[in-house]
Structure 1
């Protein structure tokens, strides 16, 4: 038990700040649709084919346009991708509301980049994934360590005093209260980064090999991108195949021979941008393939629920409040852990040296 306590403290001291910052940034992102204050953010969704097709043709004619993230019921503006970091928000009629040349001009973009990549791309994802595994260890080991002192439990949102014993006491008792919430946030977040971990979590839903195959996107090859792709025809075909689905993301080819991709969201899907996809030949606009997310392997469908749960894209205000408690608790627990470990460590008690007895 002493070894477990030592591992719990040292791991918290080393990785606690990362978890605290992830908890804080994640909590802020839960409410991003409320603090982006441009005209049109609260407009009702206009998802009819005529409106979406006309707007798509207009926006994709913008120089440098690479794709569109379509408006949804929570956020009434389209996001136009104009390059690696450049972009714009546009109304559902196709009028540009604002532009940016770098993500640093939009708080919601750089906070998202920090929360998902720590501003370090794939390397940052690895750090976050490791922090997630450490967080999972904290929750489990903390519950085990708390059991010994369960009779002294007291509910505390904040330490009684900013002394090390009071902070440790509050950390222990608050930690056990929010442990189930932290477990959900950490597990779902880590699933999106470490595929082997995710496959282990969803293993009860079906064979791992079947799930892994379903999660790998199909590959298609087509011709070079046409000078003026017929987006209206593509969207019309997509709506014919999936009449109840919303248009979510349109993406131009990333490389030669790659298709134009369209993601849609069917009503039964939890994932906000859906996993129902169509691939169109970039040269002719013909359908190369389509994938119905509701017909994927059960394990893949379970995996697709991780992000909506993690980011409060389901459950309304009730679940968003629950995740807010989880994020703020992680911020508080992680930051105070680092502070006490590095700046409030117990002082070593100096014992007086014993005097040697004089020889008789």
Structure 2
């Protein structure tokens, strides 16, 4: 059994190792992309807090973007999550231009195309979004492979309690020893983070299948958003309507902070708000509110803290995937974990190549005796 698992571990790593290494590097980049982008472009991505002043609010930011781009509908508007942050608006759709508004003056600071940011193009590749459903499924298969490598790696390594001390050794006597022990130690240290990232990645790709399975086990019947059809046309709305939406969202989940408003791009769709509780792991919160696009009235609400155990657990998987559950320490650990598949690919390939070379060497006749006897 152990030999079979070793073969599975080895060949899975050799066949899929390059793809896993690329995925890991892309994921590591996404961990640092946003703060790096803010550092490189403070003129559009940072506000200067004014003494005694408060942020202008989502309605004022919506108004500023609408005035600057009257013919381009706002698709998404995000609240800054730091005192030096800016309001971020996305125009027209998912990959539309980004517009940035100063949090204290309400002035439009600038605009960028989606793929000129440090995060969007890498995220599109990392998730397989650019290749459609089939490539996203392939990314899910890579996540399953990563989880399988983590599990089989620990099983084939386990030396037993008697030889545990030997199994935990670290030798630097040769490149072969360093590769073998470095591969082992990187796997042992990175195992919890790699397992978390892989398991949560499986959920993110196969979201509906996992959700249906969990609901079948727990008996929960949460299906959000519910189907809602409205007659009013979608499009730019007066700031008073946005204020009404903000008020409705706050009334629905009074202890949470509104982080995002998503506006429909077609008629008959509701506006969606996201809400975040203090200390919640998710960067924009898991609570979701549906609002009437004309009146701002509440249509439906999903309160994260009132969810059943299955939904509550699944709501934590995205933060576990991106490392927002433990502040800077967790984000750093996830960044390092993203580098580990490259280390595994290099050391694992070297170990395999060297063992294969040694087997061939042992299989050769010694001393040329075979040639001498054949003359």
Q: If the TM-score is normalised by the length of the shorter chain, which range does it land in?
A: 0.7 to 0.9
Alignment of 1:169-248 (within 5 A): 169-195=181-207, 198-199=210-211, 208=217, 210-211=219-220, 213-214=221-222, 216-225=224-233, 228-229=236-237, 230-248=241-259
Tell me whether 1:293 sits opposite 2:304 in the alignment.
yes
Coordinate RMSD, CA, aligned: 3.4
1:48–1:244 Cα change, 3 Å: farther
Instruction: Confirm or deny: 8 A CA contact 2:179 2:350 kept in the other structure.
Output: no
- Please state how far the C-alpha of 1:338 moved relative to its aligned partner: 5.0
Instruction: Report how many aligned residue pairs link the two structures.
Output: 348
Give the deviation of 1:310 after TM superposition.
Answer: 2.0
User: Alpha carbons of 1:44 and 1:11: their partners in 2 closer, same or farther (altered >3 Å)?
Assistant: farther
| Structure 1 residue 324 displacement after superposition | 3.0
- TM-fit CA distance, 1:58: 2.3
TM-score with structure 1 length normalisation? 0.82
Partner of 1:142: 153
How far apart are residue 340 of structure 1 and its match? Answer: 5.8
Counterparts of 1:320 and 1:297, CA distance in 2? 28
**1:86 and 2:106 equivalent?**
no
What is the TM-score of this pair, normalised by structure 2? 0.80
From 288, 293, 306, give the equivalent of 1:282: 293
1:173/1:291 CA distance change after superposition, 3 Å: closer
* 2:364 aligned residue (344, 348, 351): 351
| Structure 1 contact 248–265 (Cα < 8 Å) conserved | yes
Partner of 2:27: 26
My pick for the range that moved more, 230-239 or 117-126, is 117-126
Name the counterpart of 2:138.
Answer: 127
Work out the CA distance in 1 between the residues paired with 2:48 and 2:348: 43
Gaps of 5+ in 1: none
Counterparts of 1:234 and 1:315, CA distance in 2: 31
| Alignment-derived partner of residue 68 in structure 1 | 77
- State how far apart, in whole Å, the 2-side matches of 1:98 and 1:335 are: 43
Please, which runs of 5 or more residues in structure 2 have no aligned partner?
Answer: none
Over 3 Å counting, the alpha-carbon distance change for 1:42 and 1:145 in structure 2 is farther
Q: Which residue in 2 is equivalent to 1:100?
A: 112
